[in-house]
Copies of this chain bind each other. A is one copy, B any other.
């Protein structure tokens, strides 16, 4: 066992800038932790807040030079594109409704994009971004970051290798409790924008967490959603958007399943899981125990596959830093994602490419658009009394 310890990147770190992620924001700081772990990325510019004072102070705090702290993302795109040492990629960590305009601005400036999920709040925006990225020939990564877990990668490899046989059912769920009470109405900032149709989109719970469950189920199983039948509802009286979604899914190649998302379920802080059954075996992963896979070949007893353990696949070993049972977690998974994203963008910018199988593991703008299509289809089905609704992007 040799582990990827990921230092030694001096001189070739990818130069990135960040839009969003100033003080009081949540996810921007998480991105920065993930970027830093493997020393592959240099964060050198930012438009960290729409409030100029906050933007400048936030930049100072995290060591961005004053002249590369911008009050406005348009200015940032323009200025950085003009610098010889300008950023190679932008990291977008704003509320949902800003993803599309910001990404557009940087793509237009010839800068690659690393954008948080959901890709956009409308299907039209998603389609436009797919087209623009293609036209501009830019890499566009969407941080559906749970795909970075080593055992999620292993699960995908096992499905692709046929270890489950013909896939029969694919279930994903993302269950939380933090919106059990009306904290959005009471002004909690994270809750407030995530339940605001103007900033979150048509569905709060699907945009915030449902797309993760959908993406992960799709990523591991290798299936896209063909059609959905959805029941979306709001548990907390007065909330402006849904906080629970129960979605039946018909996947490509004949599998069926469900995607459940809830933010009002006491007992589940942050419970993401995927369960897949084929005619040869079953496979389950849960974010609460991310270092394990439960693998059940039909006719044999269930095995607990451990990251770094005796049954590790090549990909799981590639993205492991520590031996078995020295737990890696959320940040490590996110860092795997960033390491791959950095390699893909660096290779692309220098006229090269990374191994296609490896590149395929990093969700891109099309994967992001698939998530947006899934949300749109679920909203439409719900409005139509649960009618089966086509859900395949580009399909």
Using a CB–CB cutoff of 8 Å, the interface residues on chain A facing chain B are 3, 5-11, 26, 29-30, 32-33, 36-37, 39, 61-63, 168-169, 171, 177, 180-181, 229, 231, 233, 235-236, 244, 246, 248, 250, 256-258, 260, 262, 264-271, 277-284, 287-291, 294-306, 308-311, 321-332, 385-388
Most chain B beta-carbon contacts within 10 A, residue among A8, A248, A309, A386: A386
Question: A332 touches which one: B32, B181, B291, B331 (CB < 8 A)?
Answer: B331
> What's the Cα separation between A37 and B331 when bound, in Å?
10
Partner of A301, one of B29, B37, B310: B310
Contact B266 A296 (CB under 8 A): yes
Task: Please give, as numbers and ranges, the residues of chain B lying within 8 Å of A10 by CB-CB distance.
Answer: 61-63
Is B302's CB under 8 angstroms from A267's CB?
yes
Q: Are B277 and A265 in contact (CB under 8 A)?
A: yes
List, in ascending order, chain B residues with CB within 8 A of A331's CB: 37, 321-322, 328, 331-332
Bound-complex Cα distance A121 to B329 (A): 34
Flag if B169 contacts A324 (CB, 8 Å). no
Known interface pairs A277-B265, A327-B288, A332-B331; A7-B300 also in contact (CB < 8 Å): no
**Residues in B neighbouring A266, C-beta threshold 8 A:** 277-278, 280-282, 296-298
Closest CB of chain B to A123's CB: distance in Å?
A: 22
Q: Which of B282, B287, B294, B327 contacts A330 (CB 8 A)?
A: B327
What is the oligomeric copy number?
4
When chains A and B are docked, how far (Å) is the Cα of A8 from the Cα of B60?
Answer: 8
Query: Which B residues touch A250, using CB under 8 A?
Result: 231
Beta-carbon contact of B244 and A8 below 8 Å: no
Q: Complex: how many Å from CA A324 to CA B267?
A: 11
**Are B386 and A265 within 8 A (Cβ)?**
no
- Could you say which of A231, A327, A386 has the most chain B C-beta atoms within 10 Å of its C-beta? A327
A181 CB contacts on chain B under 8 angstroms = 279, 298
Which 9 residue pairs are nearest across A and B when measured between Cβ atoms? A267-B296, A10-B63, A5-B29, A327-B329, A267-B282, A270-B325, A269-B325, A8-B61, A266-B282
A270 B301 Cβ-Cβ under 8 A: no
The answer to whether A233 and B256 have CB atoms under 8 Å apart is yes
